[in-house]
Structure 1
Amino acid sequence: MITPYFDAGVDLSEHELKMMSARERNLIIQLPSDTTIMEEMEDILKIQTYLLRKGGVASTEVIEEIKIRKSREVGERKDRVKNLLIEGLKEADCYVNMQKIELKSKNPVEKINSGLMVLIDNIYNKLSYITEFLESTKDLHDLFFREDNQIKIFNENEDVPNKLALGELMDFIDRNTQRHIPLTLKTILDLYAKPPYGWLPDDIRGLIIRLFKAQEIKIQLGNDYLSSGDKNLIQYLTKKDYADRLLIKKRAKTPEKYLKNARELIKEVFNYAAVPSDEDGLMNRFKELTGFELSVVRELLVRYEKSNYPGKDVLDRGKAVFAEILEIKDGLVFFEKLYQVKDQLLDYEEAVFDVKKFFENQREQFDRAIEQLKIYEKNKTYILDSETIQMVLTIEKIVKSPKPYSEIAKLPHFINNFNERFVRLLQEECRPVRAVIENDRQKVRDEVSLYDFKDELSGKFNEKFQDLLNRLDHSHNFYEAIAMKEESDRLKMRCFEEIRKLKELKELKDREKAKKDEKPDIIGGGNDQPIYKMRKTVNVSIAHIFHGAKTIEKEEDIEELLDYLRHKLKKELNENTILKLI
């Protein structure tokens, strides 16, 4: 505000005042050349100085009256100064940004405010780009989490708040992205807080959120790009710790062929009809469906740990491509990858249908077939029937086929036929084994019936042989059934051995009792009676002696066999030993 007393050593012409408004970037107000207001102010200062000096001096009644009158005069003069200043401001000239402005209002307050508004409009000439303001962090949350997933901001037919500001910010981000200049959140906040913008921090953050939801920009934190579903985005934008770490770039538009491909894959691969229209929504939906499919694949792969089911290669390929897709954060790279693996995904969808159907409907028959093959593998030495072997080869061909799905329906027929033949062959093999067991049991019965303790042992022995026969009836393996011959012989030997021990124990008790009952020879008193020596009975299994096949073609073979038996029996026969062939 320039008064008539201003002296800058220069002529304050209109041109100089215009230049001064440009240099100082101020509103220049030049009061009229009338000096009355200045003289009044000068008089007020003189009076105030006089009153200040006389304040501490002893005064008379006359002096006090003068001081009171002068104080009243100061008040009157101040009122006149105020009125003169108001009148002067009404007539004052205003200069802003190298121009003299004509203000219609004569009200000094309105005139000054209007001048300052012109000044602000010249310095912050893009301040008006912000038409809708955000008052708090809550407004940022509301803007980010509003229901519409994608904000349309550059559609000329739509009235978008802050549209000019959005365009200004988008152009700046675009230029820096094209020049490969890293652009941080702090850089943007600092730039747009200064002239010619003067935007507030939350309004700038609101612009960034709008561009982000419009999928015009992408925001990077570290090595990861933030998604539109990231609930921490507002925290990243408002906390100072992240201002230098958030990188903002222009988002490259995804070609329509890539988006069309993604929509088709969602329908073909996942059989899902509801497809979002925006890029981020499409990407998020695809990842959501991919994550679910990947969890299904991993669950199915666990089942292969117990058996070699078909289709594992299909699931492994699907797992690899799905995991790779889920790792991609950048939208354009994501859709490009989908375009590249389109054929792989379609092949997977076609192949995995059979795999899933297998685990839903065919796995039980497949497991039964594997069990039958295991049974055959354990018994193949004993199965010589050509039809049975051919049937097993057919089952094995289906089970080991990489794509057995269309043939699995035939397995129940082959499995049932194999079971029938196997049971029949096993029954034939068990018939002589059963005869051996029955014969051994009869030998034990005959032996135990010779003694008075037969009631004590008969039931126990019969139960053991019956258990062996029951196991033979439920046997599923030839080698188990054949081995029961040897087991029966060993059981027979144990029974005979138990009979022998019980018999010898009973004989010993009888002798001791008889000895106690004998009267002692008082006259003779000698020990001339011979000492009784008990002979030990040794049970010898005939089956064990004749172990193995013997072929007799001539008389020499008979002699050889007799020599062999003589040698075996002599080996077992010792002094006081009785051999019992059973």
Structure 2
Amino acid sequence: MKIENLFTRPINREVKGVIKIGQSDDESVFQELDEYVVTQELQGHFRHFFDAYQHALQVPTDQMGVWISGFFGSGKSHFLKIISYLLDTKRIVQKRKPVDFFEEKMIHKSTLEKMKMASKGNNDVILFNVDSKSEADSKQNKLAIVKVFNKVFNELLGYSPSIPWLAQLEEILNSKGQYEEFKKLFEIESGLSWIDGRDEIYYNEDAMILALSKATEMSVESARKWITNGEENYEISVESFAIRLAKFVSQQNEDYRLIFLADEMGQYISENTQLMLNLQTLVEDIGKLTNGKVWIIVTSQQDIDTLKHGVSSMNDFSKIQSRFHLRLSLSSANADEVIKKRLLDKTDVAKETLKITYQEIEAGLKNKLSFSEHTVDMKTFKDAEDFASVYPFVPYQFHLLQKVFTGIREHGSAGKHLADGERNLLEAIQQAAISYQDKEIGVLVPFQNFYESIDQALEHSVRSTIIKAQQSETLEVFDISVLKLLFLIRYVKEMPANIDNLTTLMVQHVDDDKVSLMNAINDSLKRLEQHILIQRKGEEYVFLTNEEQDVNREIDQIQISNAKVITQIGQTIFQDILDIKRFNYCPFENRKGINYSFDVASWIDGHALSNGIASLGVRLLTPYFDEADSVESIVALSAKEQQVIVVLGENSTYYEDMLKKIKIQEYIRSHSTQNESELIKNILNKKVSESNELSKSIKVQLIHALEEAACYVNGVELKISTNLPNAKIANGLDLLIESIYPKLSYVVKQFQVEQLNELIKYTQGNIFGDQSEDVNFLATNELIEHIDNHTEHHAIVILGELLQKFSKKPIGWRETDILASLIYLLKDEKVIFKLDNRKMSLKDAQFVRTITKRHFQEKIILSKRKVIEESHLRTALLLVKDTVGLQIDHDKEDILAQKIRQIYKQQLDELEKIKLNYQYRFYPGENVVDNGIKEIKRIYAKEDTRELFQYLFEAENDILAFFEDFIPIRNFFEHHTAIYDTAMKLKERYRKDVNLLTSSAGKEAGKRLESIMKNSEPYSMIKELPSLNEQFRMALTDELEQASEPVIKTIQNNKNILIEDVRNSEKAKEKLEKSISHGFSHLKKRAEEAQTLSELNALKFEIEDLTKKYLDQIQGIKEEEQQIREMVHVSKKEILDSSVVEKHVKPLKKELSQRIFQRQDIIPRENIEIKNYAELDDYLSKIKSKIETELKLGKIVKIL
């Protein structure tokens, strides 16, 4: 049976694969409706649309925007057109309403009922392509959208679509009932119908003016003015258009609906924010004003969400989304379903025949149609039913062909009409089926056959490659088929162009021999590659355009040296695969924390790539290295060099691929893209990608080569269990390091610099997780043997030189580990560190910092330590016990010395504390304390352990003598300073009153206190002080009480007399009363608190002086008052003397002034001894004479 006889409908009939908006003849509409396939996906979209539409018929709503999205070939334009047919209530197609065609289609019953209800109304449908209806430069106008809608609405109403102001005039005339009359008059005046003449209005202006004037009865001049200024005066906005629509629909029947269906709206407004917002405003205003009577349905190649990238704010975007409440997204997932029903639907006989055929060939056919491992989502026949429904095609071809179209369109290899979708999947399948219609059952359409459906749509650079190949005398017809296939799948990532996939794609009969076909394809690929029509990339092959062929030819001619290729291979391995610039070696399997880091030299063949001077390395040997062309030469090289030798195999193309990659990179570097055409720029960009892909392929190949490589160390091929490259090389380096550094295992614990301080600080117990004992004793023994040997031969050991020797091969220890062992030796008192001839000590806070600084390491000298004499050690221990009373255990010399220094430092601190007491008072024993401080400082100053023990041995007697003398002094300061201080104070009071004391007990006690205080060693007499202090204190207190009584009495008496006197004068009272009271109260307090008799005696003179001071002040104030009274009296008398009337003025009575004497002023102070009456008379006459003198002066005498 021939292919053409399999189908229910003729395969070669005209099928409109691409639906064109505006193509609405009955025959086309009938075929569209009749052959329209409602897939499962479309069922859902119809349901959602008519649910929303039905709701709007019943309930007023502003949700009347519909956004239909879908990529190329998804059928969105066809769906839009079908919706327009279903909503067009006036459309009849061959005596059937559009909804009638859906009775036989797969559509849900409830959805079909809603379709029918929608088709019963009174609707106007406007279906248009936005771009075709817009002006050429309209996208620059932010009102472009509303202008397009206005244009198609004018078309619906029969008004001028191209001249909007003229359409407005037509509408005005129509509203006034003058439009028909105007059209008749215009035809009379111009000889043309209005419809024919209005598009050339400016050629028929006079006729229009006359017709307008007559139809409207306006003057000719007014009509001319209206037409002349019509365009200038015309304005349109979204709001005015929405109002116009609202007015229009309000004048229609209640069930009237107006539906705008705008195809390709998304492409028109994409990346133009103003147009997006214009559309949003339009839908919003129309919805608000018409309440669901006007619908706007648009299509777009992108989902509405993708438009947000062109919108200035998320707020604007959310508004656009909200206007299109119903969003339907179409995919091409069910394209095969459409194809099967529209094109490939078989007759019953054909179905049965094909099912039987499949059952006979099923097993072999599945093998023929298998793809390579990494090719996914390529369906083959599921069963006989599937075979019958798809034949003569294979299921994967529908999905793959869609990807081919998309790839060609996106990469610009096709002309405009393919990019616009005029050659779609349906057309391609039909054309391929027609080309095989004369074939018998058993033939399969190979994938390269689809090339013919797009050949005329391709760019010249692609077609010319195919044409030139067809004209080549050295290429075969089959080669051209392979070339066409390679072009088709060039941009399909899901279909790798390897030999397995190419073979499957080219199967053209169920009985094909796949092996023979594969061999034929292999031969074709070689011929095509030789002609530079294709290019191999690893296991895949790529179609080349003319320009790509020219570029490849130039690249192929670039000369690259073998050394450069080998070097690049080495750099790829060492930089991208092997991480061995530094290698960490772990000598213990169970202690990964103990490791050594080595620089590793990287070599390939005879070229050093990095770290060429490192002590060990890895050398790669390629098949291109002549000096290692045999196993023997490789073994010899391995024995000579301290390297891991890695021998790479030949079973790969990494060398050829690296050569190609370098050539591409050289070509790209030499060709600046600035002056190249866009085509060449694209090719160069692809070459960059190709270079990157080659890098990935080379890396994979080199990893495989390393996995298969043989490794040699020290002339022996290694037997390594792993094939992992890094593990393999690490194993070799482990063995190499073990042979170069055999003593690395001596160090079983590694130290960091900060741990060295801890090692010094802690001498016992757990540190760092192990005992303080030296776990690296093997390494420590190596060091002490070296130091002992040099010391015995009187050779100097410098720390820096020792560190350098033991950190290099064949030892290789870390510097801090060497220093840790040296610290152990120093702690064990087996070595001495000296810097600038000064012995270093572990107790020095800067010890670790010093030994780790390179500058100091070159100055520090190490030597074996001499043992201290036992007699000196014994003397030191006994001396501490005898002087301080402490028993020290025998310990290491330095530790023992440190303890002794600490003990005597405590003694020194005590002495210096006692010494402070002598700064303020005289205490006994100061010379002894001073000598003791000097002696202990000499002990503490001995930093060298040997010197310390030597000094203690020599100064034993002096030290013992001091501590014996210090015993009573320490006792004194611990217990007796308080009572001694009291005695010292009382002794000072005694010295002040020694001549005034009358008590014999007081005199005796004070004299004894003075005697004890003068003694330099009064320690045995301290016990007398308590009773002497008490005895002297009581005697002195009694005498003070007796002596203070008359003094206090005198103070009080003088105070009273003075207070009484100042009260006789207001001025004196005001100025002096408080001062007198305060002054004498203070004297009284001092008299009561006096500590010595001499203090009381001195107070008597202060009483006299203070009394005299206030008497003088009082007298002065009174004399001033008397002078003032006299002056006032004289003034009054003068005034009266000058008056006419004489008056008697009473004489001023002169007040007598007082003269106050203290007794000592009248009674002589010298000692008086009266032996007879004559002496008595003489003494009294002196007193009388002084008093009489004052009386004669008219003064009152007071004696205090």
TM-score tier, shorter chain, comes to: 0.5 to 0.7
Corresponding residue to 2:1006 among 382, 392, 399? 392
User: Which residue of the partner structure matches residue 172 of structure 1?
Assistant: 789
Partner Cα separation in structure 1 for residue 757 and residue 1180 of structure 2: 108
User: Which residue of the partner structure matches residue 1089 of structure 2?
Assistant: 474
What is the deviation of 1:408? 2.3
User: Which residue of the partner structure matches residue 217 of structure 1?
Assistant: 831
**One-letter identity of the residue aligned with 1:485:** K
| Deviation by residue 1:217-255 (Cα, 9 ceiling, x = unmatched) | 211223542222335433333321112221223322111
Instruction: Say if 2:834 and 2:840, in contact at 8 Å, map to a contact too.
Output: yes
Corresponding residue to 2:869 among 255, 269, 274? 255
User: Which residue of the partner structure matches residue 1027 of structure 2?
Assistant: 413
What is the deviation of 1:274? 5.4
Partner Cα separation in structure 1 for residue 838 and residue 1061 of structure 2: 90
C-alpha spacing 1:504/1:161, structure 2 compared with 1 (3 Å): same
Q: Does 1:82 align with 2:627?
A: no
User: Which residue of the partner structure matches residue 428 of structure 1?
Assistant: 1042
User: TM-score, normalized by length of structure 2?
Assistant: 0.34
C-alpha spacing 1:129/1:325, structure 2 compared with 1 (3 Å): farther
Partner Cα separation in structure 2 for residue 524 and residue 167 of structure 1: 139
User: TM-score, normalized by length of structure 1?
Assistant: 0.64
User: Which residue of the partner structure matches residue 913 of structure 2?
Assistant: 299
What is the deviation of 1:434? 4.5
Q: Does 1:547 align with 2:1165?
A: yes
What is the deviation of 1:311? 2.9
C-alpha spacing 1:345/1:577, structure 2 compared with 1 (3 Å): farther
C-alpha spacing 1:211/1:352, structure 2 compared with 1 (3 Å): same
Corresponding residue to 1:283 among 893, 897, 904? 897
Instruction: Say if 2:635 and 2:716, in contact at 8 Å, map to a contact too.
Output: no
Q: Which runs of 5+ in 2 are unaligned?
A: 1-556, 558-622, 640-711, 718-739, 766-774
Instruction: Say if 1:497 and 1:539, in contact at 8 Å, map to a contact too.
Output: no
Q: Please give the root-mean-square deviation of Cα atoms over the aligned residues, in Å.
A: 5.2
Partner Cα separation in structure 1 for residue 758 and residue 1073 of structure 2: 94
Partner Cα separation in structure 1 for residue 1103 and residue 788 of structure 2: 97
| Deviation by residue 1:486-539 (Cα, 9 ceiling, x = unmatched) | 333334434544554565566667767877888946679699999988776544
User: Which residue of the partner structure matches residue 489 of structure 1?
Assistant: 1104
| Deviation by residue 1:123-179 (Cα, 9 ceiling, x = unmatched) | x9x9879944675645972894484469xxxxxxx9952475245224234326xx5
Corresponding residue to 2:988 among 374, 387, 392? 374
What is the deviation of 1:459? 9.3
What is the deviation of 1:365? 0.9
Q: Which runs of 5+ in 1 are unaligned?
A: 1-55, 57-74, 93-107, 114-123, 151-157
Instruction: Say if 1:287 and 1:326, in contact at 8 Å, map to a contact too.
Output: yes
What is the deviation of 1:291? 2.7
Partner Cα separation in structure 1 for residue 758 and residue 1050 of structure 2: 92
Partner Cα separation in structure 2 for residue 434 and residue 464 of structure 1: 13
Identity %: 19
Which residues in structure 2 correspond to 1:20-35 (within 5 Å)? Answer: none
Which residues in structure 2 correspond to 1:333-344 (within 5 Å)? Answer: 333-344=947-958
SS of 2:943's partner is coil
C-alpha spacing 1:175/1:565, structure 2 compared with 1 (3 Å): farther
**One-letter identity of the residue aligned with 1:175:** E
**One-letter identity of the residue aligned with 1:547:** R
Instruction: Say if 2:1001 and 2:1035, in contact at 8 Å, map to a contact too.
Output: no
User: Which residue of the partner structure matches residue 30 of structure 1?
Assistant: none
User: Which residue of the partner structure matches residue 66 of structure 1?
Assistant: none
Partner Cα separation in structure 1 for residue 754 and residue 1119 of structure 2: 106
User: Which residue of the partner structure matches residue 975 of structure 2?
Assistant: 361
Instruction: Say if 2:1009 and 2:1028, in contact at 8 Å, map to a contact too.
Output: yes
SS of 2:1019's partner is coil
What is the deviation of 1:560? 7.3
C-alpha spacing 1:439/1:230, structure 2 compared with 1 (3 Å): closer
| Deviation by residue 1:5-38 (Cα, 9 ceiling, x = unmatched) | xxxxxxxxxxxxxxxxxxxxxxxxxxxxxxxxxx
510-519 or 295-304, larger mean C-alpha shift: 510-519
SS of 1:407's partner is helix
Instruction: Say if 2:780 and 2:825, in contact at 8 Å, map to a contact too.
Output: no
Instruction: Say if 1:318 and 1:348, in contact at 8 Å, map to a contact too.
Output: yes
**One-letter identity of the residue aligned with 1:481:** L
What is the deviation of 1:284? 1.6
Instruction: Say if 2:790 and 2:796, in contact at 8 Å, map to a contact too.
Output: no
SS of 1:304's partner is helix
| Deviation by residue 1:41-70 (Cα, 9 ceiling, x = unmatched) | xxxxxxxxxxxxxxx9xxxxxxxxxxxxxx
Instruction: Say if 2:932 and 2:962, in contact at 8 Å, map to a contact too.
Output: yes
Partner Cα separation in structure 1 for residue 981 and residue 1046 of structure 2: 33
Partner Cα separation in structure 1 for residue 1048 and residue 887 of structure 2: 68
Partner Cα separation in structure 2 for residue 173 and residue 445 of structure 1: 105
540-549 or 265-274, larger mean C-alpha shift: 265-274
Partner Cα separation in structure 1 for residue 1125 and residue 755 of structure 2: 110
C-alpha spacing 1:282/1:563, structure 2 compared with 1 (3 Å): same
What is the deviation of 1:332? 0.2
C-alpha spacing 1:537/1:184, structure 2 compared with 1 (3 Å): same
Partner Cα separation in structure 2 for residue 510 and residue 79 of structure 1: 145
SS of 1:248's partner is strand
Partner Cα separation in structure 2 for residue 224 and residue 404 of structure 1: 47
Partner Cα separation in structure 1 for residue 801 and residue 955 of structure 2: 39
Question: Higher Cα Rg: structure 1 or 2?
Answer: 2
Partner Cα separation in structure 1 for residue 1063 and residue 848 of structure 2: 98
What is the deviation of 1:420? 0.7
**One-letter identity of the residue aligned with 2:1091:** H
Partner Cα separation in structure 2 for residue 110 and residue 395 of structure 1: 100
C-alpha spacing 1:163/1:455, structure 2 compared with 1 (3 Å): closer
**One-letter identity of the residue aligned with 2:954:** Q
- Greater RCO between the two (CA within 8 Å, min separation 6)? 1
SS of 1:218's partner is strand
**One-letter identity of the residue aligned with 1:161:** L
C-alpha spacing 1:568/1:173, structure 2 compared with 1 (3 Å): farther
SS of 1:486's partner is helix
Instruction: Say if 1:437 and 1:469, in contact at 8 Å, map to a contact too.
Output: yes
What is the deviation of 1:473? 2.3
SS of 1:580's partner is strand
Partner Cα separation in structure 1 for residue 1107 and residue 895 of structure 2: 81
Partner Cα separation in structure 2 for residue 87 and residue 276 of structure 1: 62
C-alpha spacing 1:461/1:136, structure 2 compared with 1 (3 Å): closer
Partner Cα separation in structure 2 for residue 80 and residue 147 of structure 1: 58
| Deviation by residue 1:519-578 (Cα, 9 ceiling, x = unmatched) | 9466796999999887765444340341322444578867876897799789x8799574
Partner Cα separation in structure 1 for residue 1030 and residue 858 of structure 2: 74
C-alpha spacing 1:384/1:257, structure 2 compared with 1 (3 Å): farther
| Deviation by residue 1:305-326 (Cα, 9 ceiling, x = unmatched) | 1111223233222221222222
User: Which residue of the partner structure matches residue 138 of structure 2?
Assistant: none
User: Which residue of the partner structure matches residue 33 of structure 1?
Assistant: none
How many residue pairs align between the two structures?
Answer: 471
